[in-house]
Chain A
């Protein structure tokens, strides 16, 4: 059963992504695309003529997607949370290297920003994992999901996670990675056709990745987890509609200043 979920992960992520576009359209009182738009896009992209700059650049996108998928599989299988975070880092580094491997200024800018995003959210993810460990006594997802009480023992840590979710799903105020048209898509700019499709699908997987951290706060109660995910989903999109993008440097300051402090206060509270 788990394996089927793993195989279907990109589709699941695509549905979340499609659902999000519908939700945002409703918030802005416009019609918006249909729920299945990401899949229509996929067929369109597969139909396009594929142009590449050089082979390693194109293949790194595929590798990025595969490693990310592997990471999602690890989540579904209930592996060690730290391992999962580092596998995700590995996937991200492959993407960043892809962006750097071409002589394109926009691609480089995108990679620079992606790298700074990693520096911003990765410590918070690990600290969240340490928080889970302190309560449940294990880094294994399967054990964490058998415990409970994360929600009221780690409230500030949850807020810290909430702050970095927009970075991962590229939403305002932290959507510096693609920045709409400002840096013409960043890393994505030099991809087309089938290789762009891989990047597009990686984005679906990113949604699953970050929202599973939110889900873990529910612990043994899957209902609570689902409510938390839905709530976060709503809040993130509300904030996305209501805020403007901040500078990359300011993003780092906010994450290290606010989210990190909250996380530390919470952990110290748990320990003392």
Chain B
């Protein structure tokens, strides 16, 4: 219990201190100690088997209601202030729905907060990766052209966000989940519009109204749950049987699709890339969007092997392919990362929705490794932005010569997302095996296998296309420049790298399969490579062949741009699939 309170309260206390003491050194100290304490607590909690439940008192429940209403009114106010019709409409709808739901909601039920194994697992990701991102944010904000107060606010905001995330993954009441869901929406909105220019503002509002759709469907789900089963608790709902369970589950799954920025909602996540990089890393790749696969995992016991479960996993798999494909037309590095996050979230949801024990474990494996690798990549993108002022991959050509260390981290990120023996690859490998074994009983999953295979190939193309831009370096007659990478940047990057190596090795050992351990061998080649670079003085150097041209010219990068018609078709079909989730929920 004490440990759990640490997870919820420590970030809040730390954020207060961050605001009170706006000095960089203090911020370093606070974020580093928060990182250590939180990850240690999460780890301790993970290794203890007990399941903790906690019932909110009457006053606390009242506070939740008040907070909810204030939040929704704030959204309404923002909608009116910035004249966004969508936001106003959705806020009003939510206020009315919420008022009605709260008026008929049953007073007593089971505990509102339940910390089960899934929550403990989420704690590991949220606190481990989130803590590192906060540490990085301290150095990142130094170069941001804003006042000292705003910098402190930013870091305090990130810390508060960790606390919200820790709460949301153990919310057992749909209404509490709704409040926290809306709070993550609020965090998205505030942090995306942090820079306060017109573009940031517009993208912030976009994120706001799109996520509000998620809020609306959660409220409808709560309504159905109360009408049908007289409960707002996840555990009671998932245990009950009868016609409307799947409809409720379908509605909740729809909110996961919105939060996971699945097509056609990926617009808000891409727009979020205008925010400072720690925000992109924290909210839009490592932690917040993981609510989507988390929620599906929570619902999976009901979803699996039903028509709805099959439909949902097919849809997730299609999102995986479509988002990987759409990413090929992008040239801003963070947008590329954003699209690949959308794609992989689709895959995780697909695996979770299949609902076998094995596929759910694999979805969790993908979540951990995706969080680590994506955080690493986003933070490296932030370094490039701050130190070298490059954002587009076209400007990154030959970057390895100027920034060998950062490029090394980026390359490691790509490798850890695609190749053996790293976790993401292992997850995909085992996923193909696991789904293939289900094919005879559920032939529809063939679509999932095919999408998994094609989407992975497209992602390889995507990542190594970026690598092509950053890698090209001239003949080493002139040694490359020494890169200055401040500790504030390099320590978080190293931590993430070491984490992902350690977790990968741990995962391989857990397989208890010697064959798979052999897969780690090719890694040795890579590890040995830098040490083998003794410059090889015994061989003479030569300049690359340029076919007699005096002017240096460069090969173009690979882009695939779907025509506007194809693009619209993709959006419409995914929009229809999204609505179809609800219909299938009603039918089954």
Binding site for B on A (CB under 8 A): 49-56, 58-60, 63, 66-67, 70, 74, 79-80, 82-83, 86-87, 89-90, 93-94, 96-97, 100-109, 111-112, 115-116, 118-119, 122-123, 126-127, 130, 133-134, 139, 184, 189-190, 192, 264, 267-268, 271-272
**Docked complex Cα distance between A249 and B518 (Å):** 36
> Is A105 within 8 A of B554, CB to CB?
yes
Residues of A within 8 A of B532 (CB): 55, 59
B93 adjacent to chain A (CB < 8 Å): no
The residue of chain A having its C-beta at the shortest distance from the C-beta of B425 within the complex is A86
Contacts of B433 in A (CB 8 A): 82, 133, 139
- Nearest to A185 among chain B residues (CB) is B545
Q: Name B433-488 residues within 8 Å CB distance of A.
A: 433, 436-437, 439-440, 443, 446, 449-450, 453-454, 457-458, 460-461, 464-465, 467-468, 471-476
Q: Is B473 a contact of A101 with CB atoms below 8 Å?
A: yes
User: Do B553 and A105 touch (CB < 8 A)?
Assistant: yes
| Bound-complex Cα distance A52 to B542 (A) | 6
A64 and B433 CA atoms in complex are apart in Å by: 26
CA distance A56 to B525 in the complex (A): 12
How distant is B278 from chain A, measured CB to nearest CB, in Å? 29
Which residues of A are found within 8 Å of B432, using beta-carbon distances? 82, 126, 130
Residues of B within 8 A of A111 (CB): 468
Most buried by A among B443, B464, B476: B464
- Interface-central residue, A86, A133, A192, by most chain B CB under 10 Å: A86
Min CB–CB distance B20 → chain A (angstroms): 49
Task: Name the interface residues of B517-570: CB closer than 8 Å to any CB of A.
Answer: 518-519, 521-522, 525-526, 529, 532-536, 539-547, 552-555, 557-558
Residue of A nearest to B530 (CB): A56
Chain A neighbourhood of B200, CB < 8 A: none
Contact present for A59 and B533 (CB under 8 Å): yes
CB-based contact B533/A100 at 8 Å = no
Give the residues in chain A near B436, CB-CB below 8 Å.
130, 133-134, 139
- CB within 8 A of B420: which of A90, A109, A122, A134? A90
B418 close to A (CB within 8 Å): yes
- Complex CA gap A104/B549 in Å reads 12
Residue of A nearest to B521 (CB): A70
A selection of 14 A-B contacts at a CB cut-off of 8 Å is A55-B535, A59-B533, A59-B536, A70-B522, A83-B420, A94-B525, A96-B464, A97-B464, A100-B467, A103-B554, A104-B546, A130-B432, A268-B443, A271-B446
Most chain B CB atoms below 10 A, which of A119, A190, A267: A119
Residues of A within 8 A of B476 (CB): 53-55
Q: Across the interface, do B471 and A83 meet the contact criterion of CB distance under 8 Å?
A: no
Given that A83-B519, A86-B425, A108-B555 are known contacts, is A100 also in contact with B545, CB under 8 Å in the complex?
no
By the criterion CB–CB under 8 Å, are B539 and A50 in contact?
A: yes
| B13 in the interface (beta carbon within 8 A) | no
Answer whether A86 and B420 are a contact pair too, CB < 8 Å, given A59-B532, A66-B525, A101-B472: yes
Pick the contact of A51 from B474, B521, B539, B552 — CB < 8 Å?
A: B539
User: Across the two chains, which residue of chain A brings its CB closest to B536?
Assistant: A55
Interface residues of B in 255-291 (CB under 8 A from A): none
Task: Say yes or no: A63 contacts B529, CB within 8 Å.
Answer: yes
CA distance A126 to B455 in the complex (A): 12
**Set of chain B residues within 8 Å of A67, measured between Cβ atoms:** 522, 525
Bound complex: CA A21 to CA B540 (Å):
33
Nearest to A271 among chain B residues (CB) is B443
The answer on a CB contact under 8 Å between B449 and A130 is yes
Once the chains bind, are A102 and B536 in contact (CB under 8 Å)? no
Chain B residues with Cβ below 8 Å from A103 are 398, 472-475, 544, 552, 554
Chain B: which residue is nearest A60 at the CB level?
A: B529
**Cβ distance A101 to chain B, nearest Cβ, rounded Å:** 5
What are the residues of chain A within 8 A of B541 when measuring CB–CB?
51-54
Residues of A within 8 A of B449 (CB): 127, 130
B587 at the interface (CB under 8 A from A): no
- Interchain CB contact under 8 A, B457 and A122: yes
Q: How far is the CB of B525 from chain A (nearest CB, A)?
A: 5
Measured in the bound complex, the distance between the Cα atoms of B557 and A55 in whole Å is 24
Q: Kindly identify which residue among B525, B536, B554 contacts A63, using a CB–CB cutoff of 8 Å.
A: B525
Q: Quick check: is B419 within 8 A (CB to CB) of the other chain?
A: yes
Q: Which residues of A contact B425 (CB under 8 A)?
A: 86
19 additional A-B pairs beyond A87-B519, A122-B457, A268-B443, beta carbons within 8 Å, are A51-B540, A52-B536, A52-B539, A52-B541, A55-B476, A59-B536, A82-B432, A83-B516, A89-B419, A94-B525, A103-B398, A103-B475, A105-B554, A108-B468, A108-B472, A115-B464, A123-B450, A123-B457, A271-B446
Hey, which chain A residues are within 8 Å of B473, CB to CB? 54, 101-103
Instruction: Determine how close the nearest CB of chain B comes to the CB of A162; give it in whole angstroms.
Output: 19
A6–B345 Cα distance when bound, in Å, is 41
B509 in contact (CB, < 8 A): no
Q: Is the CB of A53 within 8 A of B475?
A: yes
A2-B522 Cα distance, complex, nearest whole Å: 21
CA distance A118 to B453 in the complex (A): 12
A267: chain B residues within 8 A (beta carbon): 446
Whether A127 contacts B536 in the complex (CB less than 8 A), given A112-B558, A115-B464, A134-B436, comes out as no
Closest to B516 in A: A83
- Per the bound structure, the CA–CA distance linking A102 and B521 in Å amounts to 26
Distance A224 CA – B464 CA, assembled complex (angstroms): 39
CA distance A123 to B450 in the complex (A): 8
A111 CA to B547 CA, complexed, in Å: 18
Q: What are the 10 closest A-B residue pairs judged by CB atoms, nearest first?
A: A104-B544, A108-B555, A54-B476, A51-B542, A271-B443, A100-B468, A55-B536, A123-B453, A100-B471, A119-B457
Residue of B nearest to A139 (CB): B433
Give the most central of B400, B460, B525: most A CB within 10 Å: B525
Q: With the chains together, A118 CA to B456 CA distance in Å?
A: 11
Contact B547 A184 (CB under 8 A): yes
CB of B421 to closest CB in A, whole Å: 9
Residues in chain A near residue B454, CB distance under 8 A = 123
Partner of B539, one of A58, A66, A93, A134: A58
Name the residue on A nearest B449 (C-beta).
A130
B429 part of interface (Cβ distance < 8 Å): yes
Chain B residues whose CB sits within 8 angstroms of the CB of A70 once the complex forms: 521-522
Which of A53, A54, A87, A105 meets B546, CB within 8 Å? A105
Contacts of B515 in A (CB 8 A): 79-80, 83
User: A82 contacts B429, CB within 8 Å?
Assistant: yes
User: Are the C-beta atoms of B555 and A112 separated by less than 8 Å?
Assistant: yes
Cα–Cα, bound, A133→B439 (Å): 10
Please, how many angstroms separate the alpha-carbon atoms of A141 and B481 in the complex?
Answer: 48
* Chain B residues within 8 Å of A54, by CB: 473, 475-476, 541
- Residues B552 and A271 in contact, CB atoms below 8 Å apart: no
Contacts of A97 in B (CB 8 A): 464, 467, 471
- What chain A residues lie within 8 Å of B465 (beta carbons)? 115
Q: Are B453 and A189 in contact (CB under 8 A)?
A: no
Bound CA–CA A105/B555 (angstroms): 5
Let me know if B460 and A119 touch, CB within 8 A: yes
| Closest A residue, CB atoms, query B519 | A83
Q: How far apart sit A107 and B458, CA to CA, in the bound complex (Å)?
A: 21
Q: How far is the CB of B514 from chain A (nearest CB, A)?
A: 11
